[in-house]
């Protein structure tokens, strides 16, 4: 009987195994928790990495925005510099403009000469402003683009004005320098004609004293005519484009007539009255020719200067005043736009 009870005792063995199974079951949940921790840590790292990427992206984007803002501010400062460059040249621009528009007279030679280098400087400043504006336009905000375009139009118009001004000013200078000797030459010609008239009157007295007085007047006439010719040469040197050929030809004819008068006087005083009278016919014929020549002369001794001036400057003056109008209109537009911009701010 005792031996039969052994299996009963052996039957209790499964209880131990059950316990073992139970213990084994207790170990498995422990291993499952470890796996969750690993996955949790992985997610944490992923979130960190994504955060770092996001922060880096935001920082990079912020830097790009910052850099763009800096570029825009720098462009605006450069646009202000271009404006200041044009504003600083305003007085010089007006100085040149006044010289260009001055009426031509003998007094403007110095004014025109002084304005020539100023025109070159104003043009250089205007072109420098154009270069600055071209550089900053791609960076400027849209609200400033109309201002930049108007400023550029103003600068280009100023540059065009100053490109034409030297031609006008140089012609002004030359014309002014030619006027005084030309005017003085005319005075000398008129004085010579008075002496020639007196010489004829004295000769027609048909007395020795009268003929000698005729010669004295002819000598004075000759001096005045020679001086007039020299003065016209001076005027031509000052303004080579002025053509004084007609006046010089007239003076030379008068000098020839005076030479004939002196010869007639000399013959008469030498007692060769017949020979003297014979030359009178040629003298009178030549005098009539010279009178016709005088009638064909330009109305004024300044006409050759005026004609040369017109020929040299007509196109330049047209272009100058066209550019001047563009500069005026562009300047008004800049003021309007800047006033609007200031109001908006």
Burial zone of 143 (CB within 10 Å; 0-12 exposed, 13-18 middle, 19+ buried): exposed
The residue ranges of every structural domain in the chain are 65-172+319-344, 179-309
| CA dihedral sign of residues 150, 155, 160, 164 | positive
pLDDT at residue 65 tops 90: no
pLDDT confidence bin for 11, thresholds 50/70/90 = very low
- Residue (of 235, 248, 251) closest to 308 by Cα position: 235
Q: Minimum mean pLDDT among 39-53, 68-82, 281-295, 325-339: which range?
A: 39-53
Whether pLDDT at 263 is above 80: yes
pLDDT in the model for residue 310: 96
- The arithmetic mean of pLDDT across residues 168-179, rounded, is 96
More confident residue, 46 or 257: 257
Closest CA to 294 of 246, 334, 342: 246
| Predicted pLDDT at 10 | 38
Q: Does the pLDDT value for residue 301 go beyond 60?
A: yes
The better pLDDT of the pair 271, 106 is held by: 271
CB atoms within 10 A of CB 83: 20
Look at phi and psi of residue 242 and say left if phi exceeds 0, alpha if psi is from -120 to 50, else beta: beta
Task: Flag whether pLDDT at 279 surpasses 90.
Answer: yes
Count Cβ neighbours within 10 Å for each residue of 171-203 and write b for 16 or more, e otherwise. bbbbbbbbbbbbbbbbebbebbbebbebbeebb
Q: Fill in the DSSP letter of residue 239.
A: S
For residue 191, pLDDT over 90 is answered with yes
Comparing C-alpha atoms, which of 251, 217, 212, 216 is closest to residue 231?
251
Mean pLDDT of 278-286: 93
73 pLDDT band, cuts 50/70/90, is confident
Least confident of 24-38, 116-130, 157-171: 24-38
| pLDDT for position 342 | 45
**Closest C-alpha among 170, 162, 180 to residue 112:** 170
234 alpha-carbon distance from chain centroid: 32
Comparison of pLDDT for 30 and 90, the residue scoring more:
90
Taking CA atoms, 177 is separated from 16, 103, 114, 245, 334, in Å, by 137, 14, 14, 18, 40
65-172+319-344 is classed CATH 1.20.120: yes
Q: How confident is the model at residue 314 (pLDDT cuts 50, 70, 90)?
A: very high
Quick one: average pLDDT of 320-325?
98
Q: Where are the alpha helices (DSSP H) in the chain?
A: 2-11, 13-88, 90-101, 109-136, 145-203, 208-238, 245-269, 273-295, 303-344
d(CA 264, CA 144): 87
Grade residue 48 by pLDDT with cuts at 50, 70 and 90. Answer: low
pLDDT band at 42; cut points 50, 70, 90: low
Rounded Cα distance between 199 and 135, Å, is 78
Residue 241 carries which DSSP code?
Answer: T
pLDDT at position 70: 66
Q: Is 333 exposed, middle or buried (0-12, 13-18, 19+ CB in 10 A)?
A: middle
pLDDT tens readout for residues 193-248: 999 999 999 999 999 999 999 999 999 999 999 999 999 999 999 999 999 999 99
For residue 326, is pLDDT > 80?
Answer: yes
**pLDDT, the chain, mean:** 85
Q: Which of the pair, 86 or 67, is modelled with greater confidence?
A: 86
């Amino acid at each position: 009987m005792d031996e039969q009870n052994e299996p009963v005792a052996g039957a209790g063995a499964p209880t131990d195994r059950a316990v073992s199974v139970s213990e084994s079951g207790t170990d498995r949940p422990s291993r499952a928790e470890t796996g969750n921790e690993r996955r949790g840590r992985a997610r944490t790292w992923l979130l960190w990495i994504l955060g770092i990427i996001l922060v880096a992206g935001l920082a990079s984007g912020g830097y790009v925005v910052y850099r763009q803002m800096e570029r825009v501010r720098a462009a605006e400062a450069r646009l202000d510099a271009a404006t200041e460059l044009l504003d600083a040249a305003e007085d010089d621009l007006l100085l040149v403009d006044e010289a260009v528009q001055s009426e031509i007279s003998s007094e403007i030679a110095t004014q025109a000469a002084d304005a020539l280098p100023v025109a070159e400087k104003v043009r250089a400043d205007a072109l420098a402003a154009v270069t600055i504006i071209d550089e900053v336009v791609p960076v400027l905000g849209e609200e400033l683009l109309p201002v930049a375009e108007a400023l550029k139009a103003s600068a280009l118009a100023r540059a065009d004005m100053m490109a034409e001004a030297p031609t006008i000013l140089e012609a002004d200078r030359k014309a002014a320098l030619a006027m005084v000797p030309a005017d003085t030459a005319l005075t000398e010609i008129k004085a010579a004609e008075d002496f020639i008239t007196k010489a004829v009157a004295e000769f027609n007295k048909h007395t020795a004293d009268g003929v000698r007085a005729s010669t004295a007047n002819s000598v004075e006439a000759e001096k005045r005519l020679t001086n007039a010719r020299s003065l016209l040469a001076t005027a031509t040197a000052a303004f080579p484009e002025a053509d004084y050929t007609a006046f010089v030809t007239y003076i030379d004819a008068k000098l020839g007539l005076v030479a004939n008068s002196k010869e007639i006087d000399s013959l008469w005083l030498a007692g060769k009255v017949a020979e003297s009278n014979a030359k009178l016919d040629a003298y009178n014929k030549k005098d009539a020719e010279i009178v016709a020549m005088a009638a064909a002369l330009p109305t004024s001794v300044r006409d050759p200067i005026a004609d040369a001036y017109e020929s040299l400057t007509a196109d330049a003056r047209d272009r100058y005043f066209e550019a001047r109008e563009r500069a005026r209109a562009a300047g008004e537009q800049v003021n309007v736009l800047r006033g609007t911009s200031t109001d908006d701010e």
